C-alpha cells in the first residue's frame, strides 16, 4: 500500500503492530524514522532492545539471537545505513525471525531500487520504502509491503473514505483499502511507476554494478588523502553508494559549506537523522560529511569531487 514516504510506512508498521508489554529488537544504525516511533512506544510500555553494531555499522546476527525473549514480537531493521552505507545481513536475520516466529520489518529507504529484494526468499513480513530516492519517483511517494495475513495484526494509522464499501461506516478490512484512506498522490505515484519501469528496463544488477564502480572509485581516491578519515565498511561491495567521511581539522559543516559554495557539490553534514548510528561509529555529536552517488553520476564527477576534497584538505594545512 502507498504512503507519502518511508517515515509514514514505518510509523504505520510500528504503531500498528506493537502493544504495551511487547518486546521489539532493532539496531543502533536506525534512522530516526524508525527510532523515534520506537522510543515513543517505549514510553508507553513497549520494551525496546537496541543491538549495538560494530564501529563500521555491522550487525552481528548472533547478537540478535541472544536478544530474543519470550515476549519478543518483531525485529525492525534497516536494509542499509544511511550514515555509513553498511548493508545489513537481512537474509540471515530473516532466517532467525522465521525460526522464532517473529515479524521482520525492513526499512528499504536506502536500498529499494539498488539492491535486489525478494520478500518471500528473504522472509520479510513488512518492507517500508521511499519513492523519491533510488526508485526515481517524485517526493511525497513511498509505501509499505505487508505480507498476506500480517494485515490482521496491523492497525491502520488513519481511517476514512476509500471509495469502496461506501455503504459501511467501518473501515474495509481488505488490502490496500484497509490502509489507503483519502485521496492518494496519484500524480506522484504515476511518476514512481515510471521510475520503477525504468529500473526494471535497465536491470537492478546493472544499476548496482555501476554504483559499486563509482563508490569504489571514490573510496579509493579518499583513501589516498591522508587527512581524510572514512567511516563504514570502506568497501563498495559491502555498502550502498553512501560514503561518510571527515577531514582532519575541519568540521563537517565547514567541509560541506565549502563544497557547496566553492565547487557546486551538494553533500550533507551532521547527524543525518541517525544520532544512534553516529554514536555507534564514534562521530556523535559532530557527525560526518556524507556523499551519496546515484546511477546518473559519472567518473568525471567523482574526479572533480576528489579534487575538491584534496584542495580543501591542502588549504586546511596552510
Ligand atoms: C534509512 C532511512 N530510513 C528512513 C528514511 C526516511 O525516508 P522518507 O524521507 O521517505 O520518510 C530515510 C531518509 O533519509 C533513510 O535514509
7 CA → ligand 1 middle, Å: 6
pLDDT tops 90 at residue 318: no
First to last CA, the chain: 55
Q: Which band of pLDDT confidence, cut at 50, 70 and 90, is reported for residue 315?
A: confident
6 CA → ligand 1 middle, Å: 6
Q: Which cell goes with 233? A: 565498511
Ligand 1: nearest atom to the Cα of 33: 4
Which of helix, strand or coil describes residue 239? strand
For the chain, list the domains and their CATH numbers. Answer: 2-201 (3.40.640.10), 204-309 (3.90.1150.10)
175 CA → ligand 1 middle, Å: 24
Of the residues 216, 273, 284, 294, only one is catalytic, namely 273
For atom 16 of ligand 1, which residue has the closest CA?
A: 82
Q: What is the pTM of this model?
A: 0.97
Mean pLDDT of the chain: 97
Does the beta carbon of 5 sit less than 6 angstroms from any atom of ligand 1?
A: yes
Annotation marks residue 273 as catalytic = yes
Omega of the bond prior to 176 within 30 degrees of 0, cis?
yes
Q: What is the length of the chain?
A: 318
- Helix then strand then coil, % of the chain, to nearest 5: 40, 20, 45
Q: Which band of pLDDT confidence, cut at 50, 70 and 90, is reported for residue 63?
A: very high
pLDDT at residue 316, rounded to an integer: 72
Which residues touch 57 (CB under 8 Å, ≥6 apart)?
29, 81, 83, 84, 85, 86, 231, 232, 233, 277, 280, 281
Does the beta carbon of 31 sit less than 6 angstroms from any atom of ligand 1?
A: yes
Instruction: Give the number of other Cβ atoms within 10 Å of residue 310's Cβ.
Output: 16
pLDDT tops 80 at residue 242: yes
| 112-157 residue pLDDT tens | 999 999 999 999 999 999 999 999 999 999 999 999 999 999 999 9
Amino acid at each position: 500500500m502507498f504512503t507519502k514516504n518511508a517515515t509514514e510506512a514505518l510509523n504505520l508498521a510500528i504503531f500498528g503492530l506493537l502493544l504495551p508489554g511487547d518486546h521489539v529488537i532493532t539496531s543502533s544504525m536506525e534512522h530516526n524514522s524508525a527510532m523515534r516511533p520506537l522510543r515513543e512506544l517505549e514510553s508507553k510500555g513497549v520494551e525496546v532492545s537496541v543491538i549495538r553494531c560494530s564501529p563500521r555499522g555491522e550487525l552481528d546476527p548472533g547478537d540478535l539471537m541472544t536478544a530474543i525473549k519470550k515476549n519478543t514480537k518483531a525485529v525492525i531493521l534497516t536494509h542499509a545505513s544511511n550514515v555509513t552505507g553498511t548493508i545489513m545481513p537481512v537474509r540471515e536475520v530473516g532466517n532467525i525471525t522465521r525460526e522464532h516466529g517473529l515479524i521482520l520489518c525492513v526499512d528499504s529507504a536506502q536500498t529499494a531500487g539498488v539492491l535486489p529484494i525478494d520478500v518471500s526468499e528473504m522472509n520479510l513480513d513488512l518492507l517500508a520504502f521511499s519513492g523519491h530516492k533510488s526508485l526515481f519517483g517524485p517526493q511525497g511517494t513511498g509505501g509499505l509491503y505487508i505480507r498476506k495475513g500480517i494485515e490482521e495484526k496491523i492497525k491502520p494509522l488513519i481511517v476514512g473514505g476509500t471509495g469502496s464499501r461506501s455503504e459501511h461506516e467501518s473501515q474495509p478490512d481488505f488490502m490496500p483499502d484497509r490502509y489507503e484512506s483519502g485521496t492518494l498522490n496519484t500524480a506522484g505515484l504515476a511518476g514512481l511507476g515510471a521510475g520503477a519501469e525504468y529500473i526494471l528496463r535497465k536491470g537492478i544488477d546493472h544499476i548496482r554494478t555501476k554504483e559499486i564502480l563509482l563508490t569504489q572509485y571514490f573510496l579509493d581516491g579518499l583513501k589516498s588523502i591522508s587527512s581524510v578519515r572514512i567511516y563504514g565498511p570502506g568497501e563498495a561491495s559491502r555498502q550502498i553508494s553512501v560514503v561518510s567521511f571527515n577531514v582532519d581539522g575541519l568540521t563537517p559543516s565547514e567541509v560541506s559549506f565549502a563544497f557547496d559554495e566553492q565547487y557546486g557539490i551538494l553533500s550533507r553534514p551532521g547527524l543525518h537523522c541517525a544520532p544512534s548510528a553516529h554514536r555507534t561509529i564514534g562521530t556523535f555529536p559532530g557527525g560526518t560529511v556524507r556523499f551519496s552517488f546515484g546511477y546518473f553520476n559519472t567518473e568525471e564527477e567523482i574526479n572533480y569531487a576528489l579534487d575538491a576534497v584534496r584542495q580543501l584538505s591542502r588549504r586546511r594545512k596552510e
